[in-house]
Amino acid sequence: MPGNRFTVVSFHAHPDDEALLTSGTLARAAAEGHRVVVVVATAGEAGLARADWAADGLGSRREAELLQSARAIGAARVEVLGYPDSGFGVAGPTGARPGCTVPFSKMDVETLAIDLAALLTQEAADVLTVYDENGGYGHPDHVQVHRVGIRAAELAQTPVVLEATIDRNSLGHAVRALRRIARLVPLPDLPDVSRGYCARADITHRVDVGREVRVKIAALRAHASQSTDAAGTDVRTIALLLRLPSPLRRRALRYEWFTERGRSPTGVMIDDIFDSLRTGSTVTDEDDTDPAGPRADT
C-alpha cells in the first residue's frame, strides 16, 4: 500500500452490474489514485436484449460495453471470467470458458473461489466488493457472486470485503415516487423492494459519489444493449435512470451503499470504502485528507 494507495477489486455477475451498483465509488477511488480492478463472472449472454443484438452475439457485445464502462470509470484492469450466464431462473447458453457448460449459479463455490482468490492474491487486493446475501434483487448469479466472493476473500486473506447493496428504505421511497409519476408518464412495472437489498440499519457505508455522477452516467450509457427488453419496447432500469430529469437523476445516483463484513453498523454511515485500512494503519492527517477538500452537497 505505498503512499496509502490501495487496490480494490470489484466482483460482479454481468456487464452493467458494475455501472449500476459501484461505478461512482470505483470512479472516486480511481480519481483519488487507487487501483481499480473490475472482474465479471459472465459475459451476460443470457440477458435480455433486443432480438437483433441477441442474435448477433450478445456476450461479445456486452463485453465491449463493459470495456467502455470501465474506461469511463478509470479501471486499471478488467477481467471477464467467462462462466456461463444463468439467465434469470433458467440455464443460459454456454459461456466463453472452454469446457464449462454448468451455469455459473450452479457451479461449485469452492472451485470458483479458488480462481478468484488467485486473482485477489495476484493483485494484492486490499478491498473486495461483492453483493449482499440477497444478491440485491435475488438473481441467482448475484447470490453466487456473494458466496464465491466471501470464500475467495477468506482464501486470499483480503482485508476488507464490502457487500454492494441499496438502502431499502431509500429505494422504497423512490419506487413510491415513481409510481406517482407513472400516472402521468409511461414507466415500466416497478418491483416490490420490501425484501430485496438491505435495511438501512444493516448498512455500514453510504458513499457520496456526487462528484462522480457524470462518470456514472457515462458508465450506464455504455451498456446500450441493456436499455430495453427482448422486444425492444419495455424500458429497463438503465434507461429509466437516464431518462429522469437531470436534478432527479443526480439525486437518484448520488449515493452508493455497502455493508462491510465483520463491521457492526453504528448508525453513522461511513463515506470512505478504505476507512478500515486507514484507521488500521499509520496515516497522518495530511495523508488522509482528500486533496479536493470535503465532499460538499451537490
| Residue 149 within any structural domain of the chain | yes
| Residue 284 within any structural domain of the chain | no
Q: H/E element holding 31?
A: helix 23-31
Taking alpha carbons only, the member of 151, 26, 146, 142 closest to residue 77 is 26
Look up the pTM and report it. 0.84
What pLDDT digit, counting tens, does each position of 78-135 carry?
A: 999 999 999 864 444 445 565 667 999 999 999 999 999 999 999 999 999 999 998 8
Cell numbers given for 89 = 431462473
| Residue 115 within any structural domain of the chain | yes
The more confidently predicted of residues 157 and 228 is 157
In the chain, how many domains are there?
1
Residue 277 has pLDDT above 70, yes or no: yes
| Residue 76 within any structural domain of the chain | yes
| Residue 286 within any structural domain of the chain | no
| Residue 296 within any structural domain of the chain | no
> Where residue 275 sits, what CATH number does that domain have?
3.40.50.10320
Residue 272 has pLDDT above 70, yes or no: yes
- φ/ψ bin of 192: left (φ > 0), alpha (ψ from -120 to 50), beta (otherwise): beta
Q: Is 218 helix (H, G, I), strand (E, B) or coil?
A: helix
Q: Where are the beta strands (DSSP E) in the chain?
A: 7-12, 35-42, 77-83, 127-131, 160-165, 205-208, 255-260
| Residue 130 within any structural domain of the chain | yes
Taking alpha carbons only, the member of 118, 100, 129, 111 closest to residue 42 is 100
Residue span of the structural domain in which 150 resides: 2-279
| Residue 295 within any structural domain of the chain | no
Residues 238, 227 contacting (CB under 8 angstroms): yes
